[in-house]
Chains A and B, each alone.
Chain A
Amino acid sequence: MNPWDGLLFGLSVAIAPQNLLAALVGSLLGTAIGVLPGLGPIAGAAIVLPLTFSLPPVTGLIALAGIFYGAMYGGSTTSVLVNIPGEVASIVTCIDGYQMTKRGRAGAALSIMAIGSFVAGTLGLIGLMLFAPPLANLALAFGPGEYFSLMVVSLLVLSGISGGSLVRSFFVTGFGLLLSTVGVEAISGVPRYTFDNLELARGIELVPVAVGLYGISEIFFMVENLVNSPKPQPVKLRELLPNREEWRRTIPAWFRGTIVGFLVGLLPGPVGPLSTFASYRLEKAVAGKHREEFGHGAVEGVAGPEAANNAASSAAFIPLLSLGIPFAPILALLVAAMLVQGVQPGPLLIIQHPDIFWGVIASMYIGNVMLLVLNLPLVGMWVSLLRIPLHYLVTGIVIFAMIGAYSVNNSTIDLWVLLVYGVIGYFMRKLDFEMAPLILAVVLGPRIEKHFREALTLSLGDPTIFFQSPICKLIWLAGLLMVGGPLLLKLLRLSRATKVEPAG
């Protein structure tokens, strides 16, 4: 099936009433999650995840994908209006978006953001549609050695570029991998670290871990700091249109942001924040005579990063749909959803489940249109979510989180896991440990183990199988460059600085 036939097939799946409803509910819920403080896209999607298990796989995945890109839209609305990023990727939008609001251009900033997100999201989807199938075809040549290498390198690269210290990220990755070994081992049925507890035999579930780390820890921060959201000014519909000068400067920034975002989206790691920061720096570099406006309400400072963020979100689906490897924590939740539904993520997805592969892609086109049509006219409604009093917000989020964690297995032990990971997440944030590698390690751990054992069995115990084939070599080399490159540059800069520094 060529990409255009695939898209048509996907559209026929996506326009089924229950799938349209899933895209609508997912993107609206995602926007709300993005707008609300305290409930980021990862915790939000994790809470909703168990509710999708009773839906057909394609419907559940469409809803979860909707939450993912809906949260990207919603997170930026609060950045522009009240200088509070709804999620990490929207931090950059605060810089110039809020300044535009202070200058009375809030409506224009929201339009630039929303239309830019739509344009970039749509272009990103075209890229996804064109690149994911060939990559899936290529991945059909992968054996267990190649998969093992790819997954290990992805985890290492994620640790390397997720910010903060490399050893601390490795520490978190190791912790996640250890967690993934708890429970009955899939191949032999041998219980590991279960202490004869039947509920532990199922293993540590991803949902309570993710909700605890991202949701409950955030609740602890909200309770500790007791910060009420500022009350935003209403935005009138007639103020939404940018003026001619703003249009002229915005359109090229959208396209630059789309390209930057799409390329960054293919990397393992926090693609949202990485793409927005990269795009902001690019916009500042090419701004010319408008450079002084950056930080004081430059339209390019909103248009570029917003486009980058959404293009990155689309591109991040390429490794997920073609290789079955999530490069970001929220995509790890989609993998978890697929596995629960009995769908094996990987290159065979396009052959075995074309309805899921193309249906999810097509639903993202539809979801982007829905978000554009609904978000701008409903901006007042989204902003009114910020008026929910803190005591109701915190109580509601905690109860939602508990229900989400419990309903994965109808098991009260998951409530304990949620609480423990809430506390762990709180201390990790206080001590500046990255949390994303933990989520990915929990999801990828069992699959890394499976490929590790298969590869060794296949090679009769020869460990060079992980490095022998040209694909393996290429993967390790790319990983070495991505993790080692920045380290080497840092060392070079340090040695140069030491040479230049005068003695004394």
Chain B
Amino acid sequence: MRRRSSLALSGQRGGRLIVGFLGLVLSACFAVGALASIPMGWMAQPGPGVFPLVCAIFMALASLGVIWEQLRSTGADVPINFPHGADLRRLLWAGAGITAYVVLTPYLGHLIASFLMSVVLIKLLRPASWRSTLLAAAATSVLIWLFFAIGLAVPLPEWKLT
């Protein structure tokens, strides 16, 4: 008889278990939302609530399947290759830079927000002086803005603080 390996939350198996439980919660939310506030209609004329409910049931079953698969898995758990140290810091800074762009764009407009994000990303990925980083960021953001906003006349978010 094969011995079932111990369940550790640090590897892929643990991660997938968490995802499975999140899926269950999500499907419960969608099912409750459908039952509580969307008309269901009747069998011969299904309302807009039926399909979300069916999808939520499918999702719940798939989530249970993911949980079951992880619990009955007998092989060695594969570690999740998450970054550490400098790699993790770089990833978090990049994430912060992109998030800052998303948060600031509605207020500062695309050009300034993209310049600020470029400063973060370029400084992260290239060891250079601040002056050179600022110049590179300005060149990148302005050239792309010129291409889209002026060249292709794509409407981009503008400064809203005045």
Contact = CB atoms under 8 A, between A and B. Distances in A.
A167 interface: yes
Interface of A: 51, 165, 167-168, 170-171, 173-175, 177-178, 180-181, 185, 187-188, 190, 192-193, 216, 219-220, 223-226, 389-392, 394-396, 398-400, 402-403, 406-407, 410, 412, 415-416, 418-419, 422-423, 427, 430-433, 445, 448-449, 452-453, 456-457, 460-461
B50 interface: yes
B121 A391 contact: yes
A165 B72 CA distance: 14
Q: Which 9 residue pairs of A and B lie closest in terms of their CB atoms, listed nearest first?
A: A461-B43, A174-B59, A167-B65, A461-B44, A391-B125, A185-B48, A171-B62, A170-B62, A449-B51
A456 B43 CA distance: 7
Contacts of B15: 427, 430-431
Contact of B90 (A192, A216, A224, A403): A224
Contacts of B33: 192-193
A243 B46 CA distance: 66
Contacts of B49: 192
B126 A391 contact: yes
Nearest to B126: A391
A193 B38 CA distance: 9
A35 to B, nearest CB: 19
B121 A398 contact: yes
6 contacts: A178-B59, A188-B39, A391-B122, A395-B118, A402-B110, A412-B105
A410 B26 contact: no
Given A177-B55, A188-B39, A403-B154, A395 B121 contact: yes
B1 to A, nearest CB: 12
Contact of A399 (B20, B34, B91, B117): B117
A248 to B, nearest CB: 45
A174 to B, nearest CB: 3
A178 B82 contact: no
Contacts of A406: 105, 110, 156-157
Contact of A394 (B39, B80, B101, B125): B125
Given A223-B90, A419-B98, 17 more contacts: A174-B63, A175-B23, A178-B30, A178-B52, A181-B52, A192-B34, A394-B125, A395-B117, A395-B121, A402-B101, A407-B154, A415-B101, A430-B12, A433-B19, A445-B55, A452-B46, A456-B45
Contact of B46 (A193, A392, A457): A457
B53 to A, nearest CB: 9
Contacts of A403: 110, 144, 148, 154, 156
B102 interface: yes
B75 interface: no
Given A188-B47, A412-B157, A453-B50, A391 B136 contact: yes
A173 B83 contact: no
B117 A398 contact: yes
A219 B81 CA distance: 16
Contacts of A445: 55
A188 to B, nearest CB: 5
Contacts of B152: 51
Interface string B101-116: 1100110001000100
A258 B15 CA distance: 41
Q: Is the interface of A mostly helix, strand, loop or mixed?
A: helix
Interface in B117-162: 117-118, 121-122, 124-126, 136-137, 140-141, 144, 148, 152, 154-157
Contacts of A177: 55, 58-59
Given A226-B87, A453-B46, A220 B95 contact: yes
Interface string B57-101: 011011101101100000000001111000110110011001101
A219 B94 contact: yes
A453 B51 CA distance: 8
A422 B82 CA distance: 16
A168 B16 contact: yes
B141 A399 contact: yes
Contacts of A412: 102, 105-106, 157
A389 B126 contact: yes
Nearest to B15: A431
A294 B55 CA distance: 46
Nearest to B44: A461
A188 B52 CA distance: 14
| Residue in B19, B26, B51 with the greatest tally of chain A CB atoms within 10 Å | B51
B105 A398 contact: no
B105 A422 contact: no
B81 A430 contact: yes
A460 B44 contact: yes
A225 B136 CA distance: 22
Contact of A415 (B44, B66, B102): B102
Contacts of B101: 398, 402, 415
A12 to B, nearest CB: 28
A220 B65 contact: no
A457 B43 CA distance: 8
A426 B97 CA distance: 16
A461 to B, nearest CB: 3
